[in-house]
Amino acid sequence: MSMAKKNIANNPERTEGQITRRNLLVWLSSVGLFGSAVISIFSNLVFIKPRATYGQPNRFSIGKPDEFPSGTKLALDQQRVCVVRDGDKLCAISTTCTHLGCIVAPSDTGFACPCHGSRFDQDGNVTGGPAPKPLPWYKLTMAPNGELEIDKSTEVPAGTYFNV
């Protein structure tokens, strides 16, 4: 069989550019191999990022709005977020210091970091110390079951309140 193929391949009557059986097969093979190579490279790249990690979930529920009366400034240490309510306006401010990641504590004037003395005002803007950036605000929404949900994967600009 290979002899027969060779004879066809060496046939001088065939002109260049014409699609021979050989060319077609070579083309098909290379598409197949190249395609699978692309897919495997792509899937390997996707695999690098874990689909789930075992930390605290980014979106979590904190309870009904009634549980936070006006004037509340409640820091949830485990979730590293501070829930602030003023009248009907609610917001969630991160309590992770933007300097080196300590947990900042709510103070009379805003927030204060115990590690290197960074200070933030009520809205999380830096008022002193080494912190380079203001504390981020997180998206606060109402889940269908009537509970407030904080989504730490979505930051919102400071001053964006959720109205009860």
Minimum Å gap between C-beta 162 and other proteins is: 8
Minimum Å gap between C-beta 2 and other proteins is: 7
Q: Closer to other proteins by CB, 5 or 116: give it.
A: 5
Minimum Å gap between C-beta 72 and other proteins is: 19
* Amino acid present at 99: H
C-alpha of 53 from chain center: 12
Q: Could you list the residues that contact other proteins (CB under 8 A)?
A: 2, 5, 22, 25-26, 28-33, 35-36, 39-40, 42-43, 46, 51-52, 54, 56-57, 60-61, 139, 141-146, 149, 154, 162-163
Q: Closer to other proteins by CB, 41 or 100: give it.
A: 41
* Amino acid present at 50: P
Q: Closer to other proteins by CB, 32 or 117: give it.
A: 32
Minimum Å gap between C-beta 17 and other proteins is: 19
